[in-house]
Amino acid sequence: MPELPEVEVVRRGLEAHVIGRRIVQVEVRHPRPVRRHLAGADDFAALLTDRLLVGARRRGKYLWMPLDSGDAVLAHLGRSGQLLVQPARAPDERHLRVRFSLGHAAGPGPTGLELRFVDQRMFGGLSVSPGGAELPPEIAHIARDPMDPLFDDDLFVRRTRRRASGIKRILLDQTVVSGVGNIYADEALWRAQLHGDRLGTRLRPTELRRVLAAAREVMAAALREGGTSFDALYVNVNGESGYFDRSLHVYGREGRPCDRCGTAIRRVAFMNRSSYFCPRCQPPPRVRRASATGSGTVPV
């Protein structure tokens, strides 16, 4: 699944290549990717045809392209989605779902450039957000991500310290902070030397600022690695950045020595997935009996 840095790579590619272009024609080749556009594929195409693309923006893993109409094209890549800018002469991709033929801002007529939504598994999709140019209401509840220049660190600290849940769970809560997926959460917590089960209410502001700084480092590193194709016409997200192979300290490294202290990395089940951590650098919270009868335990 594309994580935030990969989505940001796509946003930058769109910004470089489609802003100022006019949508000349829209071809919906499969209904599923536009299923969230309830008025249907024909309405989707009609609303976008002859509109000017004026931006490429992102909130968490959602992308949107504001239009000169004040509406926006809202996109989510899901698990396997790609937004590709291709010459029209390029052969269709096997899983090409939606094709936008692009022209110049000044007048009609295709210029041989296409924006293509390609998605094998089709968990992702596109919709038109009415009046969504500034911020689509559909995603207004999603918090900014740590790489967003307007992310509010103090607000994050305040909100996290009100929550009696584990810091990893909080990092994955899109209403508190967006764009931190399972892998980045584990990597950030390793860098910050905090166990994911430490409760928000029990963390000091300095520790939470350390987590934020660590998340930014991890994301920036991934962005550098994934960013080599920014200037290529072909804008690609395949969900597996090379960063994952080379720079991970804990994720997927069960049993291997911690890069900091040499202790074997541990893996535990977490929300149908896994959490990886160093038991020495990231000691789990101490657990005490909640009552004399031992009916439960409470992390402290």
Catalytic residues: 2-3, 61, 273
Stretch that binds Zn ion, among 16-24, 109-117, 125-133, 256-264 (CB under 5 A): 256-264
Considering the complex, what minimum distance in angstroms separates the CB of residue 276 from Zn ion?
11
Beta bridge partners of 113: 87, 102
Site string for Zn ion, 203-242 (x = CB under 5 A): ----------------------------------------
Q: Pattern of binders to Zn ion over 263-282, x per CB under 5 A?
A: x--------------x-xx-
> For residue 297, which amino acid is it?
T
- Nearest distance in Å: CB 48, Zn ion: 51
Q: Is 300 in the site for Zn ion (CB under 5 A)?
A: no
Is 216 or 260 the residue whose CB approaches Zn ion more closely?
260
Q: What's the min distance (Å) between Cβ of 221 and Zn ion?
A: 19
Q: Do residues 34 and 127 make contact, with C-beta atoms less than 8 angstroms apart?
A: yes
* Distance (Å, whole) CA 298 – CA 285: 9
Burial grade of 50 (CB within 10 A; 0-12, 13-18, 19 or more): middle
Total residues interacting with Zn ion, rule: CB under 5 A? 7
Which of 193, 249, 258, 270 binds Zn ion (CB under 5 A)? It is 258
For Zn ion, give the closer residue by CB, 47 or 281.
281
Q: Does 260 bind Zn ion (CB under 5 A)?
A: yes
Residue with Cβ nearer Zn ion (88 or 261) = 261
Residue 5: CA count within 13 A, CB half-sphere: 22
**Hey, which bits of 176-272 come out as E strands?**
266-270
C-alpha 39/C-alpha 95 separation (Å) is 23
Per-residue mark of binding to Zn ion, 173-202 (x: CB under 5 A): ------------------------------
From the CB of 284, what's the least distance to Zn ion, in Å? 13
CB 95 within 8 A of CB 120: yes
3-state secondary structure of 160: helix
d(CA 169, CA 188): 13
User: Distance between CA 226 and CA 17 in Å, rounded?
Assistant: 18
In terms of CB distance, is 26 or 258 closer to Zn ion?
A: 258
Region of 244 (left: φ > 0; alpha: ψ -120 to 50; beta: rest) is: alpha
Among the candidate windows 158-166, 204-212, 219-227, 262-270, which touches Zn ion by CB under 5 A? Answer: 262-270
Asked if residue 105 lies in contact with residue 21, where contact means CB atoms within 8 angstroms, the answer is yes
Restricting to residues 135-164, name those near Zn ion by CB under 5 A.
Answer: none
Binding flag, residue 250, Zn ion (CB under 5 A):
no
Spatial neighbors of 149 by CB under 8 A, at least 6 apart, are none
Interface contacts to Zn ion, rule CB under 5 A: 258, 260-261, 263, 278, 280-281
